Chains A and B, each alone.
Chain A
Amino acid sequence: MIQLSFAHVVYLVEAARWTVLLSLIAFAGGALVGLPLALMRVSRSKLLRGLASAYIQIVQGTPLLIVLFLSYFGLGIMGYKLDPLVAAGLSFTVYAAAFLGEIWRGCIEAVPKTQWEASDCLGLNPVQQYAYVILPQAVRIATPPTVGFMVQIVKNTSLASVIGFVELARAGQIVNNSTFEPFVIFAVVGVIYFAICYPLSVASRHLERKANAGR
């Protein structure tokens, strides 16, 4: 058995960079797809609403693990062998988009209907109404739940270890396999996850305060 050393901790911190990278991909991809989904969900077109709704229902009703298996092993069998990072990034994008789409839909709908009416009466067209009146208010409402969901994403990236993606949780297992000090190692892993997530919560509270002060 190998003695647990500082090098192991460095290895874990380095693996945490992949956790952060995958989280960023998940969030950026999720936002890029999620915002159109949210707008489709509140659109006047029945077709767009239906399409977005179907996507969200299907993804929310499927375990993330299955999405990961599908994009890594499933696409692999079909001849599209993806790199684990790409497969994980794709899966998390699919997953985060559905949840962010639904969270943001709620936030857009939480802006009072009278704000639409007032801006309509001033002659703003729908695009201007969204850009200058509705979305800026929706963003304020959306900040806390969005950051809350980001924290979920960070922790859920540990699932990507099942497709051979070496992120923080997987790195913890690897170190443990050679040193067999599970309590210490997974405590360190836990602390690193906390170190990533805690600043997000603090930032969220700060943003909330700033938003409230600005009104």
Chain B
Amino acid sequence: MPAGEAVVCIRDVVKEFGPLRVLDGVGFEVTRGQTVAVVGRSGSGKSTLLRCIAGLETIQGGDIEVCGHPVGRPGSAARAQLRRDVGMVFQSYNLFPHLTVERNITLALTLVKKQSREEAKGRAAEVLGLVGLTDKIGAYPEQLSGGQQQRVAIARSLALQPQVMLFDEVTSALDPELTAEVLGVMESLAQRGMTMISVTHEMGFARRVADLVVFMHKGKVWEIGPTQELFANPRTAEFRQFVGSEL
């Protein structure tokens, strides 16, 4: 797929939890290599949107395509393809507590990608190097700091060589120092050309790293645009107020 082509297409997505409409006709496109920051207040629907792209929530309307394939239903071929294309990193890390750092990473490589144990271990060492945690390969998650756990979670996702990485408020549970180390890893990923969608409260990160900023409000894309432009000229009162409160 050449650069500039849409990797993620979101069209008119509607998501309801019972009577509550959380996403109300959301749509935008993400092109290859782009870093997108989705920002907005709590309850604006930004995390839900990310979970819909990852196939963790079913949508009631509209459609989402990743690398030309629909998100699909659990167990479908389309879903299997989605799992190959999309990596997801969670706010609460969600490492497997009963497995070592290495096995956390090699599990999907051996089970899903059918790599040999040796091949998978090599890959684990490689991605741990990328996040600067080679020395923690034999540790269990609870022996690591939150920042280290999150970097392992990023490495675990990265090991599967996804086309797009989704980050769901990945630094919200971390103190500032640990936040910096995780953001550093994400920034280097962006520089290597990884396509990323990041739901974040880190406005500094959004300004510095994102190519495109999506401001969500009341389940809608309230403002969207190239980062510099958007922050320089907020069009709506809501975004102006949001930027003001975050600074």
Binding stretch for chain A, among B91-99, B186-194, B197-205, B239-247 = B91-99
A124 to chain B, nearest CB (A): 6
Q: Which of A117, A123, A136, A137 contacts B80 (CB 8 A)?
A: A123
Binding stretch for chain A, among B24-32, B33-41, B81-89 = B81-89
Judge if A206 is at the interface, Cβ distance under 8 Å: no
A210 to chain B, nearest CB (A): 12
Judge if A118 is at the interface, Cβ distance under 8 Å: yes
CB <8 Å contact, A137 and B98? yes
With A118-B90, A214-B140, A215-B140 already in contact, the answer to whether A123 and B108 are too (CB < 8 A) is yes
Q: Which of A112, A119, A123, A215 contacts B160 (CB 8 A)?
A: A123
Q: How many B residues, CB 8 Å from partner?
A: 28
A129 to chain B, nearest CB (A): 10
CB <8 Å contact, B56 and A120? yes
CB <8 Å contact, A114 and B92? yes
Judge if A78 is at the interface, Cβ distance under 8 Å: no
CB <8 Å contact, A117 and B94? yes
Q: Identify which of B80, B84, B87, B97 gathers the most chain A CB atoms within 10 Å of its CB.
A: B97
| A131 nearest CB neighbor, chain B only | B111
Give the size category of A's interface with B: 20 to 34
Residue numbers in A under 8 Å from B96 (CB-CB) = 115, 118-119, 132-133, 137
CB <8 Å contact, A114 and B83? no
- A179-215 CB mask vs B (1 if < 8 Å, else 0) is 0000000000000000000000000000000000011
CB <8 Å contact, B90 and A123? no
Given contacts A121-B54, A136-B98, 4 further A-B contacts (CB under 8 A): A124-B112, A137-B96, A140-B98, A214-B98
Q: Can you sample 20 A-B contacts with CB below 8 Å?
A: A114-B92, A117-B94, A118-B95, A121-B54, A121-B83, A121-B86, A121-B87, A121-B88, A122-B112, A122-B157, A123-B84, A124-B111, A128-B111, A132-B111, A133-B96, A137-B98, A140-B98, A215-B98, A215-B140, A215-B142
Residues of chain A having any CB pair with chain B under 8 Å: 112, 114-115, 117-125, 128, 132-133, 136-137, 140, 214-215
Residues of chain B having any CB pair with chain A under 8 Å: 54-56, 74-75, 80, 83-84, 86-88, 90, 92, 94-98, 107-108, 111-112, 140-142, 156-157, 160
Per CB-CB distance, the 7 closest pairs between chain A and chain B, nearest first, are A118-B94, A123-B83, A122-B108, A123-B112, A121-B88, A114-B94, A136-B98
